[in-house]
Amino acid sequence: MVNIEIDGKKLRVANGAMLIEAADEAGIKIPRFCYHKKLPIAANCRMCLVDVEKAAKPLPACATPVTDGMVIHTKSTKAIAAQKSVMEFLLINHPLDCPICDQGGECELQDVAIGYGDDVSRYSEKKRVVHNKNLGPLINTDMTRCIHCTRCVRFGEEIAGIKELGMTGRGEHAEIGTYVAKTVSSEMSGNVIDLCPVGALTSKPFRYSARAWELRQHETIAAHDCIGSNIFVHTRHEKIMRVVPKENESINETWISDRDRFSYEGLNSKDRLLTPLVKENGEWRETDWDIALRVVVEGLKDVVDNLGAASIGTLISPSATLEEMYLAQKLMRSLGCNNIDHRLRQQDFRDQDNAPVIPWLGQSIKDLEQVDAALLIGSNIRKDQPIAGHRIRKAAISGANIMVLNPVDYEFLFPVTEKIIVDPRRMSKELGAVAKALFELIGEPFPKGLTSLLQDVQPNGQHKAIAQHLKAANNGTILLGLSAHTHLDFSTLRALASLISDISKCTIGYLTDGANSPGGWLAGAVPHRNHKQEKITSDNLNASEMLRSNLKAFVLQGIEPEKDCANHSLAVNSIDQAEFVVGLSMYKSDSLLESANVLLPISPFTETSGTFVNIEGRWQSFQGAVSSAGDSRPTWKIWRVLGNLFNVDGFDYMSSEEIRDEVRSFSGNIIPKNKIEWQCPTALQNNMDGVVRIVDTSIYSIDPIVRRATALQQTADALTPAIHIGEELASRIGLMDSDQAIVRQGDGEVTLPVKIDYRLPAGSVLIPPCELGGTYLGHEYSEVKLEKI
């Protein structure tokens, strides 16, 4: 610690801190443009020049480290003169067109100019004009306004890890851009909009739609991954105009993913369901809530009375709120139905009784950047949970050994120490080899059953290296990602991962889908445990079993079964054959219109209050930002009314907070443990015939809202239906890039273009969820047949 004095204020600050940090901490405002606390220092704008006693020249506060006894004046004549002159220089080439600039009202340059600029420009030469660059569907450019602070460039280099923007040319001709027209591809690219202090980089979807001072700001939580980034939703006249990050050092710092920023476009989609609908004689009819709810109650009662409650299935989106999940299961269980699940993409439930109370990250999100080794199993962390990816990237940059075992060679923007990319059917074998290598390294005996399980598994150099790094780690972690969760052999992967975690002393963690899957477990939205964590032993079908049991009725909340369930054709067919289907939905999606009997319009997270429990176990409650669109209603209120209509006790909630507190009272003292007891899997999956399909629910098709976010759908990350295939396999089958081929899976059959994809190992193809002419393909990791046409 050193003693300094800024503007007469005596301060004690950390050694090595920059002047500007000390001033910020003390609430002393120094103007700045290039400095940003999350970016490396550039000191190029010179706006922060301050007067330091004993220094001949004014010094940039952002790049001057404090020293003991330093006396600083930020508002002396010398400092103000320096700041004013920089302001004058900045404005000579900057258009003074604030009234038509999208940044007007929230422009750092405008703000500072009011304090430091002189009214009359003495610059009478022609102003510089810079041509605009097309950076793709998300970011709009107006480069004449650029003040060359390079925040956007440094963001790409240092934070996103992908240098797409640069400064080309030199001197007055220096320009920020991509040089060639290019869509920026970072999944965090939208952050440059916030970083840009002027109106050079603005949001394309938001462009010209509102002025900053007309907007109202509401805090809420992002709803598309298990991170729970804190966001502000900006509204005007009850409409969401844009989303920006809300700083939270322990979760998203100052960033959000593009998905969280631009998904709001899906909220106002044209096919939004705005009134209750009932189907009569095959025809949909708009109706009011009374009638619609009565139809629901009668329909379900009918099934319960005649066929038993066990013939109803309830499938809930993993992004539903804690309150919604809780009330759904409370009502369904009170009717006698335990078939309730939010694990829609999971396929292997063999070990569910053994599963942790809440499968969670096992550490805090912030902790991820402190790991010194991480083994990612079946995870595209960069795209699946961009903020977690960013934390892992930080760890990697500071030297952590990041290792992956994946079915697709995802591009990570950080160094990967060991990478095993295999046919998905080999995943558990490879993990077994790591486990074996680790046991050999440590010299401990195998636990029960492992010897025979790993009999024909021989660790190679890579497995040994991974074992070595995990063993050497002081702060290692093993993370099971989305494609581990959807794997047919999930229980084996989990068992082995747990074992490895046990003997390597590395934390084990889960990265799940949806915004609230930890909440799903707490609320009892799983068939085999209720909200009190009591075991349910009979008549408890999981998501997959529900779809295979010819159930007579379904209640679907917030999902599109053909895209949100593991097995697309199975889901559609199974729901289609049911006699009574209730859809609580935001959208009039085709498959629901086809199969449902009643559709109840529900309000998305921006129009309702509720709670998401993120992957680190943090409960984050939020309020709606706008009122419910049309006749749609907050889902918790729908369940409440249904509870009353069914005459079930305990449904008289006045607020979502009341529901949340009730869940709290059950779960208050749960100490989540991730380790599971060792139960030796029966055998390692070893069926190697045929070509299997990987589904890889991409970043922009993970939930119904995102799928309707138009700008996101125009980016490179929006998967178009195609057969992604490795080069070797393609040439073996005689397929070439952009050929058309027929894919058959189960009884589904579609024709799709072929796309050579170097990330894929032989033996598998990647085909995103797709529907063509009403037919759907089957599930992830099962066999497909390809035929060239």
Partner 1 sequence: MANEVCFKNHHLDKPWTLQAYQSTGGYDVWKKILNKKTQADEIISELKTSCLRGRGGAGFPTGLKWSFMPRNAPGEKYIVCNSDEGEPGTFKDRDILRYNPHALIEGMAIAGYTMGASVGYNYIRGEFWEPYEHFETAVKEARAAGLLGKNILGSGIDFELYTHLGGGAYICGEETALLESIEGKKGQPRFKPPFPASYGLFGRPTTINNTETLASIPSILQNGGKWFLEIGKPNNGGAKLFSVSGHVNKPGNYEVPLGTPFAELLEMAGGMRDGNKIKAVIPGGSSTPMLPGDVMMDVNMDYDSIAKAGSMLGAGSVIVMDEKTCIVKALARISYFYYEESCGQCTPCREGTGWLSRVVNRIENGAGRPEDIDLLLDVSKKIEGRTICGLGDAAAMPVSGAIKHFRDEFQYHVDHKKCMVSAA
Partner 2 sequence: MTLSSKDAQTLSATQSPAQSKKAKAANSKLDLLSQNVCAEIDQWLAKYPADWSISASMPALRIVQDSNGGYLTTDLMDAIAEYLDVPAISIYEVATFYSMYELKPVGRHKICVCTNISCMLCGSDEIVSHLKSKLGIGFGEMTGDGKFSLKEVECLAACGGAPMMQIGREYYENLTTEKVDEILNKLA
Q: Which residues contact 439 (CB under 8 A, 6 or more apart)?
A: 445, 446, 450, 503
Candidates 178, 263, 591, 674; binder of partner 2 (CB under 8 A) is: 178
Whether the Cβ atoms of residue 2 and residue 71 lie closer than 8 Å to each other: no
* CB nearer partner 1, residue 43 or residue 465: 43
> Residue 566 has what DSSP assignment?
S
Binding range to ligand FES, per CB under 6 A, among 40-48, 254-262, 387-395, 580-588: 40-48
Q: Which residues contact 622 (CB under 8 A, 6 or more apart)?
A: 219, 220, 221, 605, 609, 610, 611, 612
| Tokens 């004449």, residue located | 144
CB of 174 to partner 2, least distance (A): 8
Binding range to partner 2, per CB under 8 A, among 164-172, 326-334, 600-608, 629-637: 164-172
Question: 756 is in the binding site of which of ligand FES, partner 1, partner 2, none (Cβ under 5 to 8 A by kind)?
Answer: partner 2
Binding range to partner 1, per CB under 8 A, among 118-126, 331-339, 580-588, 712-720: 118-126
DSSP 440-468: HHHTPPP-TTHHHHTTT----HHHHHHHH
* CB nearer partner 1, residue 46 or residue 588: 46
When asked if residue 456 is in the footprint of partner 2 (CB under 8 A), the reply is no
Whether the Cβ atoms of residue 701 and residue 718 lie closer than 8 Å to each other: yes
When asked if residue 430 is in the footprint of partner 2 (CB under 8 A), the reply is yes
Question: 15 is in the binding site of which of partner 2, partner 1, ligand FES, none (Cβ under 5 to 8 A by kind)?
Answer: none
The 3-state DSSP class for residue 432 equals: helix
Q: Which residues contact 64 (CB under 8 A, 6 or more apart)?
A: 18, 19, 50, 52
The string over 594-609, giving b where at least 16 C-beta atoms fall within 10 Å of a residue's C-beta and e elsewhere, is: ebbbbbbbbbbbbbbb
* Amino acid, res. 666: F
When asked if residue 47 is in the footprint of ligand FES (CB under 6 A), the reply is yes
Question: 759 is in the binding site of which of partner 2, ligand FES, partner 1, none (Cβ under 5 to 8 A by kind)?
Answer: partner 2
Question: 35 is in the binding site of which of ligand FES, partner 1, partner 2, none (Cβ under 5 to 8 A by kind)?
Answer: ligand FES
- CA-to-CA distance for 308 and 539, rounded, in angstroms? 11
When asked if residue 150 is in the footprint of partner 1 (CB under 8 A), the reply is yes
CB of 389 to partner 2, least distance (A): 17
* Amino acid, res. 506: C
What mask of x and - would describe binding to ligand FES in positions 61 to 100, judged by CB under 6 A? -x--------------------------------------
CB of 178 to ligand FES, least distance (A): 23
Question: 717 is in the binding site of which of partner 2, ligand FES, partner 1, none (Cβ under 5 to 8 A by kind)?
Answer: none
Q: Which residues contact 619 (CB under 8 A, 6 or more apart)?
A: 322, 611, 612, 613, 660, 664
When asked if residue 66 is in the footprint of partner 1 (CB under 8 A), the reply is no
When asked if residue 131 is in the footprint of partner 2 (CB under 8 A), the reply is no
Candidates 28, 34, 497, 719; binder of ligand FES (CB under 6 A) is: 34
* CB nearer ligand FES, residue 50 or residue 310: 50
Q: Which residues contact 62 (CB under 8 A, 6 or more apart)?
A: 18, 19, 20, 32, 34, 35, 41, 43, 48
When asked if residue 48 is in the footprint of ligand FES (CB under 6 A), the reply is yes
- CA-to-CA distance for 337 and 313, rounded, in angstroms? 8
* Amino acid, res. 306: N
Rounded to a whole number of angstroms, the CA Rg of the chain reads 28
CB of 44 to ligand FES, least distance (A): 6
CB of 20 to ligand FES, least distance (A): 7
Q: Which residues contact 372 (CB under 8 A, 6 or more apart)?
A: 395, 399, 400, 401, 473, 474, 475, 476
- CA-to-CA distance for 95 and 92, rounded, in angstroms? 8
Residues 389-428 binding partner 2 (CB under 8 A) are 409, 411, 419-423, 425-426
Binding range to partner 1, per CB under 8 A, among 39-47, 194-202, 546-554, 738-746: 39-47
* CB nearer partner 1, residue 126 or residue 237: 126
φ, ψ for residue 219, nearest 5 deg: -80, 140
For residue 740, how many other CB atoms are within 10 A of its CB?
A: 12
CB of 421 to partner 2, least distance (A): 5
Whether the Cβ atoms of residue 749 and residue 742 lie closer than 8 Å to each other: yes
For residue 677, how many other CB atoms are within 10 A of its CB?
A: 8
CB of 494 to partner 2, least distance (A): 21
- CA-to-CA distance for 521 and 537, rounded, in angstroms? 16
Binding range to partner 1, per CB under 8 A, among 45-53, 256-264, 673-681, 759-767: 45-53
When asked if residue 68 is in the footprint of partner 1 (CB under 8 A), the reply is no
Candidates 5, 17, 26, 89; binder of partner 1 (CB under 8 A) is: 89
* CB nearer partner 2, residue 166 or residue 617: 166
Q: Which residues contact 410 (CB under 8 A, 6 or more apart)?
A: 380, 382, 383, 404, 759
Binding range to ligand FES, per CB under 6 A, among 44-52, 401-409, 538-546, 571-579: 44-52
* CB nearer partner 1, residue 91 or residue 571: 91
CB of 128 to partner 1, least distance (A): 8
CA distances from 452 to 82, 354, 434, 642 (A): 76, 22, 16, 53
Name the residues that contact partner 1, by CB under 8 A: 41-47, 49, 56-58, 60, 63, 65, 82, 85-86, 88-90, 92-93, 122-123, 125, 147-148, 150, 167, 169-174
Name the residues that contact ligand FES, by CB under 6 A: 32-35, 43-48, 60, 62
Name the residues that contact partner 2, by CB under 8 A: 162-170, 178-180, 409, 411, 419-423, 425-426, 430, 460, 462, 687-691, 726-729, 732-733, 756, 758-763, 783, 785-787
